[in-house]
Amino acid sequence: MPLPPEPILFYDGLCGLCDHLVQFLLERDVNGRIFFVPIQSDLGRNILIEKGVPQSEISELSTVYLLSAGVVHRRSRAVFHVFSFLPKPWTWVKWLLWIPSFLADPWYRWVASLRYRIFGRLDQCRIPTPEEKKRFLA
């Protein structure tokens, strides 16, 4: 299967926090560099499996992934790295990549465990506007 353009952010399409992240990125990615795929979609699952992510991990829906330059970034690495595709000052968030995963990921997992309680669960994946549609691959 030919891969779509990168970077691609894979997110839980039913998670309110993930929806906020996608909205945030859409508003600030003025050059339209970042593409989006819900993990629940066949395309999202298939790309992640093809890139070596275990099906069991994908099914948990508790991890955000970023595919960039052929590399799959997970959890805090994905969130910090996606900011490198935004204009300044947002690109400076990528400096948080200096925080080792073993320190950042426990915080990520803690927020992920609370995300539905705090931000809610959507009934369905967000429907993009016509101008946003080209950025959503599934």
Amino acid 91: pLDDT:
86
Amino acid 43: pLDDT:
93
Q: Per the domain annotation, does 12 fall within a domain?
A: yes
Q: Per the domain annotation, does 20 fall within a domain?
A: yes
Q: Per the domain annotation, does 2 fall within a domain?
A: no
Q: Per the domain annotation, does 1 fall within a domain?
A: no
pLDDT in tens, 108-121: 999 988 888 888 88
- Segments forming the whole domain that contains residue 25: 8-135
Give ∠ CA 60-104-125 in degrees, rounded to 5: 35
> Could you tell me the pLDDT band of residue 2, with boundaries at 50, 70 and 90?
low
- Of residues 127 and 97, more confidence is placed in 97
Q: Per the domain annotation, does 3 fall within a domain?
A: no
Task: Give the contacts of 7 (CB within 8 A, at least 6 positions apart).
Answer: 33, 34, 35, 66, 67, 68, 82, 85
Report pTM: 0.89
Q: Per the domain annotation, does 61 fall within a domain?
A: yes
Split into its structural domains, the chain has a count of 1
Amino acid 132: pLDDT:
81
Contact indicator for 78, 53 with CB cutoff of 8 Å: no
Q: Per the domain annotation, does 38 fall within a domain?
A: yes
Q: Per the domain annotation, does 93 fall within a domain?
A: yes
